[in-house]
């Protein structure tokens, strides 16, 4: 499993791209690539991410996962989908997400570029996934659980040949999220502030508690409120260092892979 942090920012951070991850993992049918979330600033960040091979940026991932329908998590899709069209992608692309994924995908692309969907160089479809559902995401086993967010948001667990990945999307972790994350090699948790109590969002303290309870191999904290990250990054890193678990605050372009866990 190799995870590239294309973006790590919250919705309105002008310095950091919206949180978005590119996961490379091996399943029963071989290597697969999945993009997790694609917000309005993450689309461009994907193509400018030097940590990703140029060929991968050009052709795009095997599938896309959208955790929920807020702009900083899926409004970058028209940018990315149209650029892959311009670059001549031929392989089918499926975008997975919550209820209504197909309709929301079509409406968003049509709003941005009304004539693009009818002439895409590759087949495109949206697939809806339910809370708690087990399914195959580009050949990798996956499951979901609802988080505590203002809009319905599905946390995702992906299984690869060398470990599991938990990605929260937005929202404080619920009991089902702890079970979903149990034993994962990497937990990626949204943490808007330092302490619990932020409506609709998680915190650094809750992220640490989640990783501990789930017995995670490592924790990455993302989507920190811009002022908190700029003014209190030292406090965040100190909390992570003192947590007793392997934990880090990633920057755009950082890469997590089993062989690199100690370095992070």
At 131-148, the pLDDT tens digits run 999 999 999 999 999 999
* Cα–Cα distances in angstroms (integers) from residue 106 to residues 2, 37, 47, 210, 258, in the given order: 30, 16, 22, 35, 37
What CATH number does residue 223 fall under? 3.60.15.10
The pTM score is: 0.96
CA distance 61 to 68: 19
In a domain, 261, yes or no: no
- Mean pLDDT is lowest, of 74-88, 97-111, 248-262, for 248-262
- Answer whether 132's CB lies under 8 Å from 157's CB: no
Specify whether the backbone of 72 is left (phi greater than 0), alpha (psi in -120 to 50) or beta: alpha
Whether 264 is in a domain gets the answer no
Q: For residue 59, what are the domain limits?
A: 2-256
Alpha carbons 189 and 147: distance in angstroms, whole number: 11
CA atoms within 13 A of residue 236's CA, in its CB half-sphere:
28
Specify if 119 maps to a domain: yes
Helix (H, G, I), strand (E, B) or coil at 155: strand
262 domain residue, yes or no: no
pLDDT in the model for residue 259: 60
| Count of structural domains, the chain | 1
Asked if residue 263 is part of any domain, the answer here is no
Lowest mean pLDDT among 24-33, 44-53, 244-253: 24-33
């Amino acid at each position: 499993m190799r995870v590239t942090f294309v973006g790590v920012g919250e919705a309105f951070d002008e310095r950091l791209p919206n949180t978005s991850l590119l996961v490379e993992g091996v399943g029963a049918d071989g290597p697969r690539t999945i993009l997790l979330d694609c917000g309005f600033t993450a689309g461009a960040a994907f193509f400018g991410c030097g940590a990703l091979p140029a060929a991968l940026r050009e052709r795009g991932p095997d599938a896309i996962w959208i955790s929920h329908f807020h702009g900083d998590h899926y409004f970058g899709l028209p940018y990315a989908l149209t650029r892959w069209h311009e670059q001549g992608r031929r392989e089918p692309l499926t975008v997975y997400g919550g209820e209504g994924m197909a309709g929301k995908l079509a409406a968003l692309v049509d709003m941005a570029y009304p004539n693009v969907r009818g002439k895409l160089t590759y087949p495109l479809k949206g697939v809806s996934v339910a809370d708690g559902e087990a399914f195959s995401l580009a050949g990798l086993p996956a499951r979901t659980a609802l988080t505590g967010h203002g809009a319905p948001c599905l946390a995702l667990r992906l299984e690869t040949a060398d470990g599991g990945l938990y990605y929260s999307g937005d929202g404080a972790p619920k009991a089902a999220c702890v079970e979903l994350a149990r034993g994962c090699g990497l937990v990626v948790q949204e943490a808007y502030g330092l302490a619990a109590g932020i409506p609709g969002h998680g915190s650094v303290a809750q992220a640490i508690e989640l990783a501990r309870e789930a017995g995670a191999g490592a924790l990455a904290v993302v989507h920190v409120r811009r002022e908190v990250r700029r003014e209190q990054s030292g406090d965040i890193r100190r909390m992570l260092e003192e947590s007793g678990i392997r934990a880090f605050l990633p920057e755009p372009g950082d890469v997590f892979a089993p062989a690199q866990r100690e370095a992070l």
